[in-house]
Amino acid sequence: MATDATGSAPGLRVLRRDDWDKWYDTLIRGFGGVPESTEERELWNSLTEIDRSLGAWDGDECVGTAGVFSFRLTVPGGASVPAAGVTMVSVAATHRRRGVLTSMMRRQLDDVRASGEPLAVLTASEPAIYGRFGYEAATFHLNAEIDTTRVRLTSLPAGTDDVRVRYAVPADVLDSCEAVYARLVPSRPGMLARQPGWERLELLDPESDREGASPLQCVLAERDGETVGYARFRVKPDWDAAGPDGTVILQSLAALDPAADAALWRFLFGIDLTSSLVVRRRGRPVDEGWRHWVSDIRRCRPQLLDSLYLRPVDLGAALEARTYQAPVDVVFEVEDAFCPWNSGRWRLRGDAKGASCERTADAADLALSIRELGAAYLGGVSLASLAAAGRVREVRQGALAEASLGFGTAVAPWLPHGF
């Protein structure tokens, strides 16, 4: 690890349970220093995987933090693949440019490789930071601010009127909601199977997050007595000279079919004393049905944002773990400076049934870095678009179209919650 004139390099070690408070305080300070609620702090304490968390220490002072969550990530084809969820990364402002972050990323990826996880994923507070470690945006989401006084829902799917929507106490129906979520996980790349304890994240409701809105509310969508969807939201009341002007703030929504989905959106559009529906945080999938039901997409003010960043840690295993919507037989020339074990030529053969990926001495068809493969891995970014940006070089004519089609997916990848 590099040092500079400001002092020696901090020491790096695996976190100890009795150091968690000091370690976590360092993290909070790195993100502005605003203390979290007791509820939030207790939740993250319980979810922290101590043996997968690192601290950089300057004497007794914690000056750097990084952790990993053991996730399973849905990939194209529906398989649930082990993925290291990189999280809680910070470096004290007093210790910048001493190689602290690089040393934590180096140790982390070495450990992830040793654990047999083919993928590492993260959400980036500052995207520019993580490209040098091989991460690239692989999923995107839509935020929206919908003027529900002017935007109507039209052409709703058959069966919408058969779905009953009813209020429920969020904690009381958590199991029903989690059952719906679990059924959806295999259907969309980028979704995370919730490990025990993570369901509590959905009910986290500190007053500091409400911005003047109500406590968390919940409705269930039911058909023939079965729960087929849910929505969690807050309502922020307001009035002006013209009358009520409240806002519905959507936190999460899940539905097993288009009719249940439409019934939930129709409910949210029609809440009394409100004039707008705001979708933020993790947003919604970029291909979701509501965009085709609204009468005026411009008055929804959609905003496309980056979400999950991904890097293959074991390239061969990662490419073998997913399927391909069209047959591919392509040789990649891969550059990976930070994880050089991935560098070199790899032959990928795959289709909708499975894939193999092995080292080869054959001539390259496409040349790219690990970042481009990370971006394209879940099907949300096409290799052709990366080539148009000069980030993928076609060596064999026709290879780009073949690979770009094969890497695509029928539904857009999406990350449903942060970590």
Task: Cite the active site residues.
Answer: 130, 419
Cα 364 from Cα 362, distance rounded (Å): 6
Cα distance between residue 83 and residue 80, in whole Å: 9
State which amino acid sits at residue 357: C
- Residue 90 is labelled as binding a ligand: yes
- DSSP summary character for residue 339: S
Q: State how far the Cα of 268 lies from the Cα of 371, in Å rounded to an integer.
A: 39
Instruction: For residue 288, say whether it is annotated as part of any ligand binding site.
Output: no
d(CA 402, CA 298): 35
Is 359 annotated to bind ligand? no
Cα 339 to Cα 172, 254, 336: the distances in Å are 46, 37, 6
Residues 81-103 as b/e (b if ≥16 CB within 10 A, e otherwise) read: bbbbbbbbbbbbeebeebbbbeb
Distances (CA, A) of 123 to 1, 84, 85, 206, 282: 25, 12, 9, 22, 10
What CA–CA distance (Å, rounded) separates 202 from 184? Answer: 16
The verdict on whether residue 188 carries a ligand-binding annotation is no
Coil, helix or strand at residue 134:
coil
Contact 263, 250 (CB under 8 A): no
Q: Is 97 annotated as belonging to a binding site?
A: yes
- Consult the annotation and say whether 101 binds a ligand: yes
Instruction: Please indicate if the annotation marks 72 as binding a ligand.
Output: no
Q: What's the rounded Cα separation, in Å, for the pair 204 and 197?
A: 12
Q: Cβ contacts of residue 235 below 8 Å, gap of 6+?
A: 213, 214, 217, 246, 247, 248, 249, 271, 274
55 token code pair = 């601290």
Six-digit token string for 284: 């919604």
176 annotated ligand binder? no
Annotated binding site for acetyl-CoA: 89-91, 97-102, 125-126
Instruction: Detail the residues annotated as belonging to a binding site.
Output: 89-91, 97-102, 125-126
